Amino acid sequence: MAELKLMKGNEAVAEAAVRAGADAYFGYPITPQSEILEYLMTEKAYERTGMVVLQAESELAAINMVYGAACTGKKVMTSSSSPGISLMQEGLSYLAGAELPCLIVNVVRAGPGLGAIQPSQADYFQSVKGGGHGDYRLLVLAPASVQEMSDFVPLGFDLALKYRNPVLILSDGLIGQMMEKVDLFEAKPRQMEIQENWTLSGRAGNRPKRTITSLDLDPVKMEKHNLHLQEKYKAMEANEVRYEALQCEDAEYIYVAYGASARICQKAVQLARAKGIKVGLLRPITLFPFPSLPLFNLADQVKGMLSVEMSAGQMVEDVRLAVNGKVKVEHYGRYGGMIHSPTEVLQALENKLINA
Amino acid sequence: MIMDINDIICEENLVYRKSGLLLEKPFSYCPGCGHGTTHRIIMEVIEEMGIISNVIGVAPVGCSVIAYDFLNIDMVGAAHGRAPAVATGIKRVYPDKFIFSYQGDGDLAAIGTSETIHACNRGENLTMIFINNGIYGMTGGQMAPTTLDGMKTSTSPYGRDISSMGHPIKMTELLAQLEGTYYITRQAVHTASHVRKAKKAIRLAFENQKLNRGVSLVEVVSNCNSNWKLSPVKANQWMEENMFKFYPLGDIKVEGKLVEKVQKKENIERVGNTIKI
């Protein structure tokens, strides 16, 4: 039954996983996302749907449990925060190489190293440019509300299975920890029969054996496999770009921001408009594939773009690539776990673009 | 009367048949290596148990990284050391299927120690096959966690010096201490009688999955004649004289209980001063 609830972002992810008919969750505790595993245990996900919930001995083990379970074509997921996601990069490279669908949630905290437990967006590079070894991409969704933390779980599973590729929900400590109203979607039953022609189930009848691996000792075949992966990423770029444009129609300047920063920029747009400055916000919802074309088109209309991120400037590189020199692109952001205020963001726009 | 060859090659004269689960592809293993024999007996067990449609295997990184190229069953290749976690993932979503992992000593006892210990400690209902030849075969003969004291490898060219390189690890005995293991045994596959015993052990390790009592692990002490730089025959002799002393064959844990110490005492005497209890 659909339901309206007040929930934390992390809890919304967990509840959505059960409702989306997830078959398994493997995870390891780390702040600020431990509520996901806690919620699944407390709410007895296993009793509700038969979903497997297992606390692994490490993120390394968790991602490899995901790898194993994903071989069966079932809906599997894990979640962690930045240092834990770093540990999972080996597994993510293998998952992408072996073309296994799964859902990963990163509730980003500040780095580098052990960093701080406060919100950050400094894992952008790691998320959208590969992260582990080899040429691969994850499909990256960036929720900016508790509602989207819930909605992107079934969307993530669908996209993962559609492309046989890991999907990453790139959240942050702010979206994960804050409480908001969330309209929970109606629960779907777990899919018990898997009809795909690549999944492992045991070699029944006379069907040929199936092997899942990312290895090929023959470089000619390996290059072919890489070309196939690249085709898949191109198909994602053609079909899966998602973004939200807010008050961009008459904008002279635009903010480009995702996740928590997009929420802050939303307020900054209001403040700017009240002062008579025509500002809009372009919020990428998919970070890979990146909304390059809408930004390229907006570049003809605006005088400048400000990429606002809780990082030292990572997404700004993709914004610059997108507009290809047509318009000035600057970056503003706090980091190390500090969060910029709407006033700071407005000031940055004035200093770096309007009065520069 | 002159017998035609086809009169001899007939069903009633059959004493041995290659398992139908071994593909026609020649093994990539060195002649004399124990991997091929171990692959064969696992496939024979699966065939004899009639569980092909319910078996999923997990291959490691190492010489047997492409084990799935020889075996006509569903398999997945794991990252180095992660096979027990991968097997856990499969087994948890398919509790009624037979899941086995196949790992070498570097994979199971060095880089994957954590995954091995925790899968065993959780009592995952898995069959684990552990090939211990005291060396990294695939990468060219480097020191392994199970390399014996004084043993020469490419990264211990003057012999393993335990004062700086640490001790060879008895992973199997260590795992037997964990509550989550149900059956732990150490076998070999270099003679016909050892092959028969090892096959029985592997069969039991698969049968145990029906009981849901935890991990069944079969260690196979094997050779690596190429990297030991010995002929296959001499490698087997060396294995009997040195490896079996430190890694004595036999059951270590049966039906969840450690095997009586009588047998262990014997082992200590045989090894002399090289191990400390």
B65 is a domain residue: yes
DSSP assignment of A235-302, as one string? HHHHH---EEEES-TT-SEEEE--HHHHHHHHHHHHHHHHTT--EEEEEESEEES--HHHHHHHTTT-
What CATH code is carried by the domain that includes residue B106?
Answer: 3.40.50.970
Q: Give the range of the structural domain holding residue A137, as residue numbers without chain letter.
A: 3-188+231-235
Count of A–B CB contacts within 8 Å?
A: 131
DSSP assignment of A147-166, as one string? HHHHHHHHHHHHHHHHHTSE
**Rounded distance, CA A227 to CA A265, Å?**
39
Cis check: omega of the bond before A219, within 30 degrees of 0? no
Q: Give the range of the structural domain holding residue B120, as residue numbers without chain letter.
A: 24-259
* Complex prediction ipTM: 0.96
In 3D space, the residue among A43, A31, A175 whose CA is nearest the CA of residue A17 turns out to be A43
- How far CA B30 is from CA of A178, B37, B64, B77, B151, in Å, comes to 60, 12, 11, 21, 21
B271 is a domain residue: no
B272 is a domain residue: no
The pLDDT-based confidence of B10 (bands split at 50, 70, 90) is: confident
**Rounded distance, CA A90 to CA A88, Å?**
6
pLDDT digits (tens, 9 = 90+) for B30-80: 999 999 999 999 999 999 999 999 999 999 999 999 999 999 999 999 999
Question: Tokens 């992408």 correspond to what residue?
Answer: A96
In a 13 Å sphere around the CA of A245, the CA atoms on its Cβ side amount to: 15
Last residue of a domain, one of A235, A258, A273: A235
The tokens for B114 are 């954590």
- Nearest-CB residue to A203 (from B73, B88, B92): B73
User: What are residue A116's phi and psi, to 5 degrees?
Assistant: -140, 165
B47 is a domain residue: yes
Count the domains in chain A: 2
Distance from the Cα of B158 to chain A's closest Cα (Å) equals 33
Question: Tokens 């606390």 correspond to what residue?
Answer: A55
Distance from the Cα of A259 to chain B's closest Cα (Å) equals 31
Residue numbers in B near A75 (CB within 8 A): none
What CATH code is carried by the domain that includes residue A324?
Answer: 3.40.50.920
pLDDT digits (tens, 9 = 90+) for A281-314: 999 999 999 999 999 999 999 999 999 999 999 9
Last residue of a domain, one of A179, A207, A235: A235
**Rounded distance, CA B87 to CA A66, Å?**
10
Is B54 in Cβ contact with A202 (below 8 Å)? yes
**Rounded distance, CA A23 to CA A75, Å?**
5
Q: Which of A166-180, B5-19, B46-60, B247-261 has the lowest mean pLDDT?
A: B5-19
A325 is a domain residue: yes
Is B90 in Cβ contact with A212 (below 8 Å)? no
User: What are residue A75's phi and psi, to 5 degrees?
Assistant: -85, 110
Distance from the Cα of A94 to chain B's closest Cα (Å) equals 7
Distance from the Cα of A340 to chain B's closest Cα (Å) equals 41
Mean pLDDT of chain A: 97
Q: Which residue of B has its CA nearest to A67?
A: B86
Residues contacting residue A212 through CB under 8 Å, at least 6 positions apart = A71, A98, A100, A198, A200, B75, B76, B77
The pLDDT-based confidence of B23 (bands split at 50, 70, 90) is: very high
pLDDT attached to residue B270: 47
Residue numbers in A near B58 (CB within 8 A): 68
Give 3-state DSSP helix, strand, coil % of chain A, rounded to 5: 40, 20, 40
Angle, alpha carbons A266-A267-A272 (nearest 5°): 100
User: What are residue B98's phi and psi, to 5 degrees?
Assistant: -95, 115
A222 is a domain residue: no
Bridge partners (DSSP) of residue B73 are none
**Rounded distance, CA B22 to CA B25, Å?**
8
* A173, A259: one domain: no
* A288, A182: one domain: no
Q: Which residue of A has its CA nearest to B77?
A: A213
**Rounded distance, CA A132 to CA A146, Å?**
28
Q: In chain B, positions 112-141, which contact chain A (CB-CB < 8 Å)?
A: 114-115, 118
Residues of chain A with pLDDT under 50: none
* A181, A281: one domain: no
pLDDT digits (tens, 9 = 90+) for B95-128: 999 999 999 999 999 999 999 999 999 999 999 9
- Nearest-CB residue to A202 (from B78, B88, B97): B97
Mark out chain A residues that contact chain B at CB-CB < 8 A. Answer: 23-24, 26, 52, 54, 56-58, 60-62, 64-72, 74, 76, 90-91, 94, 98, 200-205, 209-215, 217
B117 is a domain residue: yes
Span B241-245, mean pLDDT?
98
In 3D space, the residue among B25, B102, B107, B17 whose CA is nearest the CA of residue B62 turns out to be B107
User: Quick count: other Cβ atoms within 10 Å of Cβ B263?
Assistant: 12
pLDDT, greater one: B274 or A111? A111
pLDDT attached to residue B267: 53
Q: Which residue of A has its CA nearest to B23?
A: A209
- N-term to C-term CA, chain B: 68
DSSP assignment of A188-248, as one string? ---------SS--S---TTPPP-EE-S--S-HHHHHHHHHHHHHHHHHHHHH---EEEES-
Is B87 in Cβ contact with A202 (below 8 Å)? no
What CATH code is carried by the domain that includes residue A111?
Answer: 3.40.50.970
The tokens for A200 are 């492992």
B95 is a domain residue: yes
Q: In chain B, positions 134-173, which contact chain A (CB-CB < 8 Å)?
A: none
DSSP assignment of B184-242, as one string? EEEEE-SSHHHHHHHHHHHHHHHHGGGTT-SEEEEEEE---HHHHTS-HHHHHHHIIII
Count the domains in chain B: 1
Is B55 in Cβ contact with A56 (below 8 Å)? no
Q: Give B192-199 contacts, CB < 8 A, sequence gap 24+.
A: B194/B249, B195/B37, B195/B41, B198/B38, B198/B41, B199/B41, B199/B44, B199/B45
Residue numbers in A near B88 (CB within 8 A): 54, 61, 65, 68
A202 is a domain residue: no
pLDDT digits (tens, 9 = 90+) for B174-213: 999 999 999 999 999 999 999 999 999 999 999 999 999 9
Q: What is the dihedral of CA B44, B50, B54, B56, to 10 degrees?
A: 0
Give the SS3 label for residue B40. Answer: helix
A207 is a domain residue: no
- Nearest-CB residue to A200 (from B56, B66, B114): B56
Residues contacting residue A109 through CB under 8 Å, at least 6 positions apart = A31, A32, A81, A82, A83, A115, A116, A117, A118, A119, A120, A172, A173, A337
Last residue of a domain, one of A178, A202, A235: A235
- DSSP letter assigned to residue B272: G
The tokens for B154 are 């490419």
* A180, A296: one domain: no
A226 is a domain residue: no
Distance from the Cα of B193 to chain A's closest Cα (Å) equals 31
Question: Tokens 């009169």 correspond to what residue?
Answer: B7
Given CB atoms, is B67 within the 8 Å cutoff of chain A? no
In 3D space, the residue among B33, B27, B28 whose CA is nearest the CA of residue B190 turns out to be B33
A163 is a domain residue: yes
* A92, A15: one domain: yes
- Nearest-CB residue to B118 (from A61, A211, A215): A61
The tokens for A67 are 């790898």
Please tell me the pTM assigned to this model.
Answer: 0.95
* A158, A30: one domain: yes
pLDDT attached to residue B261: 64
A11 is a domain residue: yes
* A56, A143: one domain: yes
A46 is a domain residue: yes
**Rounded distance, CA A227 to CA A224, Å?**
5
